[in-house]
A and B are shown apart, each in its own frame.
Chain A
Amino acid sequence: MARIAPGHRDNDGKDRHSMATLELNSIDKSFGSAKVLHDISLSIQDQEFVVFVGPSGCGKSTLLRIIAGLEAASSGQIMIEDDDVSTLAPIDRGISMVFQSYALYPHLSVFENIAFPLRVQKLPRRELEAKVNKAADILQLSDKLHLKPGQLSGGQRQRVAIGRSIVREPKIFLFDEPLSNLDAALRGDMRVELSELHKQLNTTMVYVTHDQVEAMTMADRIVVLRDGRVEQFGSPMELYHQPRTRFVASFIGQPNMNFLPAKVREASASGITVTLPGDVTLSLPLNGTTVSTGDTIDIGLRPEHLRLQDDGQLEVHVKILERLGGLSITYSDVGGVRFCAALDGASPVKEDTTIRLGFDPAAAHGFDAQGNVLPRLGAPDFQS
C-alpha cells in the first residue's frame, strides 16, 4: 500500500520526520461574558493520537478550533514544534482539519475536492495528480475520483474529507467528531480505518468526540473535558481503572458505572469500611484519608465487575433484563438509584426475581461528596 510520510523533505529527498508536538499553555476562551474554556494546559507528544472527549457543551470543539486557528483564544499560548503559533493563520500552523459535516464542496468532483488544498498552493499539475492519486489509493477512492460528493455514501464522503487533509501532509491532523454522522455499524468500521491510518501516517492526531467508545478504542491518551476544564488526561486504561473524579468514572466505560450512596464507618489510609444500602457493611481497599466517619460517599461499581454469586454482597431485584447474547444486562433499583450489572450471557437470570451479586472489593471505586476519588489501593497501575 502506498505510504505518505508527513513532515518535510530535505534536499537529498529523504523524509525528515519533524517532531510534531503540540503544547497548550493556559488557554482561556470566552464568548462575551460566557467563559467556555478555563486555563487549559496540555502537552501532546509527537505521533500521539489524543482524543478530546466530553459531553456536548464541554468546550472540546472550541478547543480544537482554537488549535486549528479558526477561533482565537482569549488568552494563552499554542506551541507546535516549539513554534508559537497562537496568532498564525490556520494555513501557517501546519495543521489540517476534518469536519463533522465533512465540508466537501458539492460542485467539485472527488478528485477536485481532494486536490483543493493543492490547487490553493498552485502545485504543478503532475505533482498534484500524483499526490491526489496516492491519497485516493490509501483511502480506496481511486475508482470514485470522477464522482460528485452527492453520489457517495457517508463513509466514502468521510474518506474524501480525510483525503483532502492527507494531501496537505500536515504536522498535525485535527478531527472534529468525524464519525458522528455515520450509522453505528459504519462507525465501527471507520474507527478501525482511522486507527490504521494513524499507524500508517505516524502523525500527531487530535480527535474530538462525545463518544467514549471512540475515545477508548482509538486514543493513545484521552483528555476528558467538563465545563471547559480538563477533568483528566491519561491513557484509556488509566482513565478506566483510576478515574480521578466521579465524572470521569461515569463517563468512561460502557455500561456506565453504578454509584451507590454509602455511609463511612471507619476510614484510614489503609482502607475504609462503609455501609451500603440494604445495611451491607463492607471493607474496601480505598485510601480514606480525605473522609471521616459519618460522611456519605459514593461507591462506584462497574457493571462488568459484578457477577452472579450465591453469597454475593448485594441483593437486588431484577426489574429489566437485556439479553445481548454475549452479555445479560440487568437493571435494578438499589437505594433509590438505578443499578446495572453486566453478567455472563448464559446467566440464569429472570426479570422480577431477586438475585445476589458479588464483586471483588479491590474493583470498587470511592468518591467523596465533591466527586473526588478516594485512591484505590489495589488498582492496576497504568500510569506511565
Chain B
Amino acid sequence: MTDVLSQPGATVRPKSAPRRLSDRAFAVLLILPAFAFIGVIIAWPLVETIRLSFTDARLGGENYVGFENYVDLWNSRRFHSYVWITFYWMFISVLAKMVLGLIGASLLNAAVPGRALFRMLVMPPWVIPIAIGCIGWLWLYNGTFGLLSGVGQRIGIFDGAFPFLAGKTSAFYSAVVTDVWIGTPMVTLFFLAAMQGVNRDLYEAAWVDGAGRWYRFRRITIPQIMPVIVSMSLLSAIWTFNSFDIIFILTQGGPRGATTTLIIDTYKTAIGNFKFGEGAARAVVIVVLLAIFSAIYMFLLGKINKIYGVK
C-alpha cells in the first residue's frame, strides 16, 4: 500500500472503479420516478381542479368568477341535503360493514369443519366486478320480475309489485344493502387476518380462568384487533364516501335525489351538465371534508393504539 501511494502521480482511487454517487443523491434518484408519477397523476389534476373551481368553465370557455361557485354551494339547500345524505350513507354502510365483518370473521375464525370452504365462499361479492354484482341486484330489486318483490308478495309482505328502487327510502336502503354486500368481504378478511394474529395462548389462559366465549371476545379479541378495526373503518369510510359505481348503476342518484351523494352530484354537474367549474368546486369540498374527517380519525387511531398497547 505504502509504496503505491508514495509513487508520484498515483491516485487513491483506482482508475477502473466507477464513480460512486453519494447515498443521498442515489436516494433522490430512486424516488424521482415516483415523484414524477405523483406529479402527473395526482398533483397536477388537483391543482387544475382547484383552479377550475374558481371559474365558470363550460364547454364553451371559462371566466374567472372568484368564490361564486362556493357561495352558491353554501346557499344551496339541495347541496346541504346531499352532504347530509352522503354522511348518513357513509355512517350506515360502514357501521353495517364493520358489524357484519366482525361477526363473519369470528365465525370464519371458529374451529369448525370446512372453514376453508366458508372462507372462499365469502369472497365472490368482492371478487366479481362491481357492475356485474350491481346488475344482479338490479334484478333482485326489480318490482315486476325481481326475486325479492316476488317472494315478498307470496309471503304477504307486499300487496303488489314492489319496485325497491322507485321509492325514496327503499331506494336508499337498497343501495346501502348492495354497498354492504360488496364491501363486507374485504372487511371480514382483514378482521379474520387480525384475529388469527392474536396469540392463542391468550384465549386458553382466559378459558382456564373461566372466561366464556362472549367475555373472551369482548375483553381479548376486540381490544387485540382494535387498531385494525379503527384503520379499517377509516379506509372503509373513505371508500364508501366516494362510492360512485354502485349508486350510479342502481339509481343514478334518484329517485328525486334520494341516493345522490356528493360524488354523484359532482359527476352529474361536471360531466352530466358540462359545468366543469361548479363540478370542480364540489370536488374541492369533498377533498376538504375527507381531509377533516381523516385528520380526526388519525388522531383517534393514535389514541387507541396507545390504549391498546401498540408501542
Which of A115-123, A225-233, A320-328 is the interface stretch?
A: A115-123
CB distance from A122 to the nearest CB of B (A): 10
The complex places the Cα of A89 from the Cα of B210 at a distance, in Å, of 8
Chain A interface residue bracket vs B: 20 to 34
CB distance from B145 to the nearest CB of A (A): 51
B209 & A116 in contact (Cβ 8 Å cutoff): yes
How many inter-chain contacts with C-beta < 8 Å in the A-B complex? Answer: 66
The complex places the Cα of A116 from the Cα of B223 at a distance, in Å, of 14
CB within 8 Å of B: which of A18-35? none
B72 within 8 A of A: no
A286 within 8 A of B: no
A356 within 8 A of B: no
A97 & B206 in contact (Cβ 8 Å cutoff): no
Name B207's contact: one of A70, A102, A108, A121 (CB within 8 Å).
A70
CB within 8 Å of A: which of B83-139? none
CB within 8 Å of B: which of A171-203? none
A103/B204 contact (C-beta < 8 A), A91-B210, A116-B209, A168-B209 known: yes
B307 nearest CB neighbor, chain A only: A107
B188 within 8 A of A: no
CB within 8 Å of B: which of A91-115? 91, 95-97, 99-103, 105-108
B199 within 8 A of A: yes
Q: Which residues of B contact A68 (CB under 8 A)?
A: 208
A60 within 8 A of B: no
Chain B interface residue bracket vs A: 20 to 34
A117/B207 contact (C-beta < 8 A), A101-B199, A103-B202, A148-B309 known: no
Q: Which residues of A contact B204 (CB under 8 A)?
A: 70, 97, 99, 103
> C-beta contact mask, A321-349 vs B, less than 8 Å → 1, else 0?
00000000000000000000000000000
Name A107's contact: one of B199, B211, B215, B308 (CB within 8 Å).
B308
A96/B309 contact (C-beta < 8 A), A101-B201, A103-B204 known: no
A106 nearest CB neighbor, chain B only: B309
Name B205's contact: one of A89, A103, A106, A121 (CB within 8 Å).
A103
CB distance from A339 to the nearest CB of B (A): 42
Q: Which residues of A contact B308 (CB under 8 A)?
A: 106-107
Please give me the 3 A-B residue pairs with the lowest Cβ-Cβ distance, nearest first. A91-B210, A117-B209, A103-B201
Chain B residues close to A by CB (< 8 Å): 199, 201-202, 204-211, 215, 219-220, 223-224, 226, 307-309, 311
17 further contact pairs, Cβ within 8 A, besides A101-B199, A150-B311: A69-B208, A90-B207, A95-B208, A96-B208, A96-B209, A97-B204, A97-B205, A99-B201, A103-B202, A107-B308, A107-B309, A108-B309, A116-B206, A117-B209, A120-B206, A121-B210, A150-B309
Chain A residues close to B by CB (< 8 Å): 68-70, 89-91, 95-97, 99-103, 105-108, 116-117, 120-121, 148-150, 164, 168
Q: 7 A-B contacts, Cβ less than 8 Å apart? A: A69-B208, A95-B208, A103-B205, A107-B308, A108-B223, A116-B211, A117-B210
